[in-house]
Chains A and B, each alone.
Chain A
Amino acid sequence: MALDPLPVLNDPSPDELRERIEAAIPGSRVTEAGGDGHHFRVTVISDSFEGVSRINRHRTINEIFEGELGGRIHALSISCQTSEEAK
Chain B
Amino acid sequence: MSETEANPLREAIAGAIAEKEVLLFMKGTPEAPMCGFSARTVATLEAHEATFFSVDVLPDPRIREELSAISNWPTIPQLFVKGELVGGCDIITEMADTGELATVLGVKAPAQPAAKAPETVQAPPLTIGDATAE
* A interface residues (Cβ-Cβ under 8 A, vs B): 54-55, 58-59, 62, 66, 69-70, 75, 77-79
Contact = CB atoms under 8 A, between A and B. Distances in A.
Contacts of B86: 55
B94 A58 contact: no
A54 B87 contact: yes
B25 interface: no
B74 A69 contact: yes
A26 B90 CA distance: 24
Tell me if A's interface is mostly helix, strand, loop or mixed. Answer: mixed
Contacts, number: 29
A69 B88 CA distance: 14
Contacts of A69: 74-75
B91 A54 contact: yes
B112 interface: no
A79 B74 contact: no
B24 to A, nearest CB: 15
A81 to B, nearest CB: 10
B95 interface: yes
